[in-house]
Structure 1
């Protein structure tokens, strides 16, 4: 059963809580990719100040974080992370729906993202949501899969 999820802009004073949530969400991937995933290396005080960061709230707590950035007329989905205890409650789906609606509201033609090639379950989630793989490349030592979803001509859900 999906809970009542509210998204709101993140506040700088929440940066340490956001960093802890991201670390919790991405720690399981360390063994798989052989190092900390890129989102674990970010300075979330800077990220909250410089990017569009939203938190998903369930009750009184932060259940997820969404980091977006305008890039060449598209919206880049920089990071989406869900607290382990909140997985399976629709938090991630709610944040992805919000990201697409936000991109449309900004007039973006597409929403783009990248993920590590060994995060295969994430690649599959994005494919089922209409993203297609554009290319693969190694950036900053990470083997990344780049994906894109065109928003032109798509009906808003």
Structure 2
């Protein structure tokens, strides 16, 4: 299904769409967590300027009931020593189930391999139970649980 969208580096003009995507994807967790999850308050302009954000956008020649160029999801990742840190990923609810999230994670892993990284590390909130099931299915192993920045986080790592 990836042929229906493309992944490209985020541009400054994508900030509003990325923020909107984060809000749509994470709003459901505010009540359970007791505050906005970290992705909802991220400084996407700075992350884009640093070259850490990539977006999945609707391909111009296919239809996902979205106009061409429409942002379907995004991923934030960066290199830290021999590990790539997958900081944040979100898919618009209207685009879930279409392989967007999986393709973004695969893009991150492929970029990590190409850059010579040995692993990809990530964390999720303990209240985001769907993620706790998804990441092991994608080959990530839980390595720690701890409270950090006021959030109960579960840490995962995948050796490449």
Superposed pair shares fold, TM > 0.5 = yes
> For 1:39-50, what aligned pairs fall within 5 Å after superposition?
39-50=39-50
Tell me the secondary structure at the aligned position of residue 123 of structure 1: helix
Regions of 4+ moved over 4 Å: none
Among candidates 121, 145, 149, match of residue 158 of structure 2: 149
- 1:72, distance to aligned residue in structure 2 (A): 2.2
Q: Residue deviations 1:23-74, cap 9 Å, x none?
A: 1110011111111000111111111112421000123201000101111221
Residue correspondences, number:
151
> Which residue pairs with 2:19 in the alignment?
19
> Which residue pairs with 1:28 in the alignment?
28
Q: Tell me if structure 1 keeps the 8 A contact 2:2–2:103.
A: no
Tell me the secondary structure at the aligned position of residue 20 of structure 1: helix
Q: Tell me if structure 2 keeps the 8 A contact 1:134–1:147.
A: yes
Unaligned ranges ≥5, structure 2: 59-67
> For 1:79-118, what aligned pairs fall within 5 Å after superposition?
79-118=88-127
> Which residue pairs with 1:129 in the alignment?
138
Across the aligned residues of Structure 1 and Structure 2, the Cα RMSD in angstroms comes to 1.2
Q: Tell me if structure 1 keeps the 8 A contact 2:9–2:51.
A: no
Q: Residue deviations 1:67-97, cap 9 Å, x none?
A: 0111122101011100111011110011111
Distance 1:8 1:2 in 2: 13
Instruction: Confirm whether residue 6 of structure 1 aligns to residue 15 of structure 2.
Output: no
- 1:19, distance to aligned residue in structure 2 (A): 0.8
- 1:2, distance to aligned residue in structure 2 (A): 6.1
TM-score by length of 1: 0.92
